[in-house]
Structure 1
C-alpha cells in the first residue's frame, strides 16, 4: 500500500484566477491576441509574449496574467503562440511579431536551439529579447524569468514521489511533455540526481516518455507502462497535461493504492484525481503570476530599469535575482493536495 500522507504547500502564494481564462480576443491558430490596454496609440509600448503553445489550461492562465498586467501597466500585450508544441511553428509566430516591430519579445521555447537564429534577428533589429517559463539561448536574452529554482523543484518532485510510494525501493517511470523542452529536462535531470544520490533502491524502468503536451497521449502511454511493468510503483509526470493523463489511467485501472503519481499540474484540473488518490500531489506555482511578472519586467526593461534582488513586484510578490543579473526567480512551488486544491481558483 502506498503511503498517503497529504503534503502541504511549501509556499502558499496569494491570488489566483479562473483556469482556462483567456483574453477577450481569444488565441486562435497563429493569429496575434492583443490587449488594447492603452488604446493602441502610436508610440505605445508593445510587448509580445509567446508561450510554447496556446489552448492548454496552463498557458491560458499565463495569458490571463499577461493581459491583466498590460491593462494595469498601460502597455499593449500581444499573447500568441503555435497550436502545437512545435519549434517550426513557433519560429513563424516570432517572424510575424518581428514584422510588427514589437518593443519586447518574451518567449518560452519549445526548442531553444531552433529559436536562436530568429531571436538573434529580433535582437539585431533592436527588439528586447527575454525568455519566460523555459530558457532560451542565454547569450540572446536580457532577462530569463523562471517560475522557481529548477534544481530545487526537480528534487522536490522526486522526494514527493518517494514519500507517496511509502518505500525507498521500487520501479518508477517518468513522463514528459516534449523531449526538447529545456525546463522539463532540467527538472527531470534534478529529480534523477536526487534519486541517484539519496534513493539508490529506486529503479527507472525506461527513458523519459514524451506525451506531446496532451493528456490523451499521457493516458495511453501510462496504460502501456502499466501493462509492460506490472511491478511499477510510481510515476513522475512533467508538463501540466501529463499528470492528468497518468492519473486518468490509474483511476481507470483502480491502481490508486498500488502506483503513486506526482507531477506538475494545476489544482483545478487535478481535483477529480486528487480526490480519489489517482493523483497524489500536483506541484506547481501560479501561472497567472508568471505571465504578469513577465510583462511587468518587460515594461521595466523598455524604460531602462533592471530588476533587483528582493524587489517586490505588485501583483506578484518578492522576486529573487541571481548573481548573473539576468535570472529572475518568481518564488517557491506549491504542493496542491486533496486537502487544499479547492482553495485555488485556477
Structure 2
C-alpha cells in the first residue's frame, strides 16, 4: 500500500511538472509573435523625405509657400527639404535637383524655371525610383506624374486682362512685366491675356513685354524703363509676384499715381501700401501657403500609391479639381484697397 502511494505521488508531480513546462512554452510563443508584430509595424512606418524645389529662394511668394510646405511636413510626419536656386535660373535649379537625387529623397516637387532644360535631370530622378511632380510651374508631361496648378490658366490669364480693362475704361496702351520667358506658367498666362484683349477689348493695345527674371530689383528697373519709354502708357500688368510692387513703386516715384494703372499677381502684404495710396489698383493671387501645403500632401499620397481625384477634399486646403494630369487648387482672389487688410500673406 505504501509503495502504491509513492508511485501515485510520483506520477502526480511528473504530470504537474510537464504541465508547467508546457504552459511556459506556450507563453514564450505568444510573446514572440507580439514582438515580431511590433517590429513589422515599425518597418511599415517609414518616414518619407520629400524635396520641394521653388523657382527661386528669398522672394515673398515662395517664402509663404515654404511655410505651408513645412506645416504639412509637421502634420503628415514627413521630412521636407525646401531648397531652390538663389536666382531664377534653370542651370542652378538643375544643381538643386541633382543634390536632392544624391540625398536619395523619395519624391521631388519642382516649380520649373524652364520645362525643356529641366527635363533630363527629372527623368534621371525618375529612373532612380524617385517620384516627381511639378507645382506652380509645369515641365513637359513625360517628366512628372502630375502638375499641381494654382488656378485654371485660361481663367487666370483672361481675368488679369479684365482687371486692367476695368481700371482703364477698356482703352489705351499697356505693357506686361513677366517673370521669365522660359517659364511655362507665365507663357500660358501671357497667351490668354492676349486672347482676352483681342476678343473683347479692341481699344486696348499691348506695346511691350519685359522679363524681370523674378528679381525685385530688376523688376523695378524694368518698370522705370517702361514709364520713360512710353509716355502714354495707360497700364502695367505684372504676371509674377515681383512685378506689380515694382511697377507700383516706379509709378509712385514718377508722380504718375492714378495715371498709369497697375494690376497683376502678387501677395497682399507686398501690395497693401500701394493699393491704399492708389499706386496700384488691384492685385490677384491665391494662397501660396495652401499651395505649398497641398504639394506636400499630394507628394506623400503619391508615395503611398494614391493619386489625386476630382472633388477630393484636402485638409487645410479645400476641394481640388483634377483635369487629366493637372490638379487645380482653386480660384483666384482679388485684393483691393477695400479688402486687402483681410489677408495676411
- The TM-score bracket by the shorter chain reads 0.7 to 0.9
- Tell which has more relative contact order, 1 or 2 (C-alpha 8 A, sep 6+): 1
User: Does residue 194 in structure 1 map to residue 196 in structure 2?
Assistant: yes
Structure 1 length normalisation: TM-score? 0.86
2:301 maps to: 300
Aligned ranges 1:13-24 → 2 under 5 Å: none
Q: Tell me the SS of whatever aligns to 1:48.
A: strand
Per residue, is there more helix in 1 or in 2? 2
Matches of 2:161 and 2:259 in 1, distance apart?
Answer: 17
- How far residue 216 of structure 1 moved from its aligned partner, in angstroms, is 2.2
Q: Tell me the SS of whatever aligns to 2:294.
A: helix
2:51 maps to: 48
1:314 maps to: 315
Structure 2: 5+ residue runs without aligned partners?
Answer: 1-44
Between Structure 1 and Structure 2, whose CA radius of gyration is higher?
Answer: 2
Aligned ranges 1:66-105 → 2 under 5 Å: 66-105=69-108
Matches of 2:300 and 2:140 in 1, distance apart?
Answer: 21
2:159 maps to: 156
| CA offset digits 1:168-221 (Å, max 9, x no partner) | 221110111111111111111111110011111111112x10112122222222
Matches of 1:214 and 1:125 in 2, distance apart?
Answer: 33
Structure 1: 5+ residue runs without aligned partners?
Answer: 1-41
| CA offset digits 1:58-78 (Å, max 9, x no partner) | 000000100000000111111
Matches of 1:256 and 1:173 in 2, distance apart?
Answer: 16
1:344 maps to: 343
- How far residue 79 of structure 1 moved from its aligned partner, in angstroms, is 0.5
- How far residue 152 of structure 1 moved from its aligned partner, in angstroms, is 0.4
Structure 2 length normalisation: TM-score? 0.86
Matches of 1:75 and 1:238 in 2, distance apart?
Answer: 33
Q: Which of 162, 177, 180 is the aligned partner of 1:178? A: 180
Contact 2:133–2:146 (Cα < 8 Å) also in 1: yes
User: Does residue 254 in structure 1 map to residue 255 in structure 2?
Assistant: yes
User: Does residue 136 in structure 1 map to residue 139 in structure 2?
Assistant: yes
Q: Tell me the SS of whatever aligns to 2:47.
A: coil
Range moving further from structure 2, 210-219 or 275-284: 210-219
The runs of at least 4 aligned residues of structure 1 exceeding 3 Å deviation read none
| CA offset digits 1:259-311 (Å, max 9, x no partner) | 11101010011011001111111100000000000000011011111111111
